[in-house]
């Protein structure tokens, strides 16, 4: 662990790592970006050294994670396969189309990488009560890590949270509150979380950088793994399902880490993907707007429940990453999201939830628009499991009911 300092992304204020700051004292909703001592990290973090390490969850990359070794708790998150698709790539028109299958994490979404770090930091700083605002995945992940570490987890989720995600939360032992949407453009789960932090001193661990800079560092390990899995050859584009932007911001951070360490010498293009029904960040990128001009989406609507954050808290870093890597943003309509889920499942055997699948049709659209080329190496992140909310894409009644005899079965066939 080689952290040098933290710097507020809004006002530039510098913080000591030993003070374990969470939010900028100026309350400007800047993210306290963690700056590492890359000279020190380079001593042990090399391609060869990393490849020889046994799996230890995200802590395989301990040099560039902001937690002391003895607190590095893990449910063996990460280490997910990078699947070289054959049927899906060919169907879409690509020669080299990969899916990073994050559905295989301990609680079945990529958020485990973030929460492994966020929860470990809570223990390191002596906290007992952790609180989160989330559409469900980050909350169930924090609940699982809290269970294994003996933390008390309080979760604020939207009132229409899926049964799958709510069941995970309840069974991991979190105190769960469904929160009613009352004001357009505001996320009431975030408002409540902020109030519990300021009133009762709970440790905020949402997957939004401005409230907790440590958890941002977890998801960047996705890109360390992708590069290692591709034999350190840099792909052309990374398609990233995006809500608050924390994941895409983490990917950008991970790429910069690898560049600083001298492990890559170019960047893949970063492509955040949002649903058409909630695209504050994607529209801003398409229109070349500054982060400060982004207004929260008044009425976010999509079956991609994990991508419904009205405000992209980490959008500043995503815009920077898209510009620096010559990326772009893409949006997908509801029928395209359903088609993405179907294609991943039917052609590759990967069952993703709607939020986790959006990269598939986004890639197809970018190929048709000529932004991607069929010879490009494309990596799509499949970020969460379809078992979390299967009701979004299939209804039980669609499964044929037949009598237990061959004759009536034949009628269906
Ligand atoms: C499955 C899934 N994919 C992607 C995201 C988007 O991540 P972020 O909010 O960091 O942009 C989420 C967030 O909840 C999610 O649950
Ligand atoms: Zn600040």
The string of pLDDT tens digits covering residues 178-223 is: 999 888 888 899 999 999 999 999 999 999 999 999 999 999 999 9
SS3 29: coil
Q: Which residue has the tokens 């992209």?
A: 312
pLDDT-derived band at 399, boundaries 50, 70, 90: confident
Q: Which residue has the tokens 């309080």?
A: 154
Domain range annotation of the chain:
82-109+216-392
pLDDT-derived band at 55, boundaries 50, 70, 90: confident
Task: Say how far apart CA 375 and CA 68 lie, in whole Å.
Answer: 43
Task: Say how far apart CA 99 and CA 359 lie, in whole Å.
Answer: 9
Q: Which residues are registered as beta bridge partners of 133?
A: 156
For position 408, what pLDDT does the model report? 85
Q: How far is the CA of 24 from the centre of ligand 2 (A)?
A: 5
* Cα–Cα separations (whole angstroms), residue 13 to 4, 7, 30, 32, 225: 14, 6, 10, 9, 32
* Cα–Cα separations (whole angstroms), residue 322 to 61, 269, 298, 303, 306: 24, 7, 25, 25, 21
Residue 398 in this model has a pLDDT that exceeds 80: no
Whether 83 and 90 have beta carbons less than 8 Å apart is answered as no
Ligand 1 proximity of 105 Cβ (cutoff 6 Å):
no
Mean pLDDT value of segment 326-339: 98
Nearest to 307 by CA among 389, 212, 373, 407: 389
Residue 125 in this model has a pLDDT that exceeds 90: yes
Q: How far is the CA of 139 from the centre of ligand 1 (A)?
A: 11
* Cα–Cα separations (whole angstroms), residue 61 to 1, 175, 220: 9, 32, 10
Q: Which residue has the tokens 């570490």?
A: 149
* Cα–Cα separations (whole angstroms), residue 404 to 198, 213, 409, 410: 61, 57, 8, 11
Whether 74 and 56 have beta carbons less than 8 Å apart is answered as yes
Ligand 1 proximity of 242 Cβ (cutoff 6 Å):
yes
Structure tokens at 81: 């396969």
For position 272, what pLDDT does the model report? 98
Whether 299 and 306 have beta carbons less than 8 Å apart is answered as no
The best mutation among 241, 319, 341, 390 to test binding of ligand 1, ranked by most ligand atoms within 8 Å of the C-beta, falls on 241
Best CATH choice for the domain 82-109+216-392 from the list 3.50.30.60, 2.60.40.10, 3.20.20.70, 3.40.50.1100: 3.40.50.1100
> Which residue's alpha carbon is nearest to atom 1 within ligand 1?
384
For position 284, what pLDDT does the model report? 98
Task: Say how far apart CA 172 and CA 170 lie, in whole Å.
Answer: 6
Residue 413 in this model has a pLDDT that exceeds 90: no
Q: How far is the CA of 404 from the centre of ligand 1 (A)?
A: 43
Q: How far is the CA of 52 from the centre of ligand 1 (A)?
A: 31
Residue 396 in this model has a pLDDT that exceeds 90: no
Mean pLDDT value of segment 383-390: 95
Structure tokens at 358: 């959006």
> Which residue's alpha carbon is nearest to atom 12 within ligand 1?
306
Q: Which residue has the tokens 């009628």?
A: 411
Residue 365 in this model has a pLDDT that exceeds 80: yes
| Residue 274 CB-density burial (10 A; 0-12 exposed, 13-18 middle, 19+ buried) | buried
Whether 75 and 104 have beta carbons less than 8 Å apart is answered as no
pLDDT-derived band at 34, boundaries 50, 70, 90: very high
For position 404, what pLDDT does the model report? 85
Q: How far is the CA of 304 from the centre of ligand 2 (A)?
A: 32
The best mutation among 384, 385, 390 to test binding of ligand 1, ranked by most ligand atoms within 8 Å of the C-beta, falls on 384
Residues 6+ apart with CB under 8 A from 232: 47, 263, 264
pTM score above 0.85: yes
For position 185, what pLDDT does the model report? 82
């Amino acid at each position: 662990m080689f952290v040098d300092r933290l710097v507020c992304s809004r006002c530039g204020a510098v913080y000591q790592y030993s003070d374990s700051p969470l939010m900028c004292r100026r309350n400007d909703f800047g993210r306290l970006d963690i700056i590492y001592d890359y000279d020190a990290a380079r001593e042990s973090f090399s391609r060869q050294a990393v490849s020889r390490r046994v799996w230890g969850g995200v802590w395989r990359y301990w040099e560039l994670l902001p937690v002391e070794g003895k607190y590095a708790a893990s449910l063996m998150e990460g280490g997910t396969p990078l699947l070289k698709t054959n049927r899906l790539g060919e169907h879409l028109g690509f020669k080299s189309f990969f899916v990073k299958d994050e559905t295989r994490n301990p609680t079945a979404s990529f958020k485990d990488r973030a929460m492994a770090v966020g929860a470990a930091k809570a223990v390191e700083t002596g906290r007992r009560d952790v609180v989160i605002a989330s559409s469900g995945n980050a909350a169930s992940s924090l609940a699982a890590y809290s269970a294994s570490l003996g933390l008390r987890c309080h979760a604020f989720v939207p009132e229409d949270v899926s049964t799958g995600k709510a069941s995970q939360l309840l069974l991991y032992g979190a105190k769960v509150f469904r929160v009613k949407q009352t004001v357009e453009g505001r996320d009431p789960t975030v408002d409540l979380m902020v109030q519990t932090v300021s009133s009762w001193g709970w440790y905020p661990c949402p997957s939004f950088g401005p409230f907790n800079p440590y958890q941002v560092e977890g998801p960047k390990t996705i890109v360390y793994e992708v590069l290692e899995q591709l034999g350190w050859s840099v792909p052309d584009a990374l398609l990233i399902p995006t809500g608050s932007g924390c994941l895409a911001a983490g990917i950008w951070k991970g790429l910069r880490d690898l560049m600083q360490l001298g492990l890559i010498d170019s960047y893949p293009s970063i492509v955040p993907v949002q649903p058409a029904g909630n695209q504050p960040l994607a529209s801003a990128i398409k229109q070349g707007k500054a982060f400060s001009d982004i207004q929260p989406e008044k009425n976010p609507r999509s079956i991609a429940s994990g991508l419904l954050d009205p405000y992209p808290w980490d959008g500043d870093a995503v815009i920077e990453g898209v510009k620096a890597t010559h990326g772009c943003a893409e949006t997908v309509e509801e029928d395209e999201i359903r088609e993405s889920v179907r294609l991943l499942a039917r052609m590759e055997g990967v069952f993703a939830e709607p939020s986790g699948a959006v990269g598939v049709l986004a890639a197809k659209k970018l190929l048709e628009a000529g932004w991607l080329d069929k010879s490009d190496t494309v990596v799509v992140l499949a970020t969460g499991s379809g078992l979390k909310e299967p009701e979004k894409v299939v209804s039980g009644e669609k499964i044929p009911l037949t009598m237990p005899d061959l004759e009536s079965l034949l009628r269906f066939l």
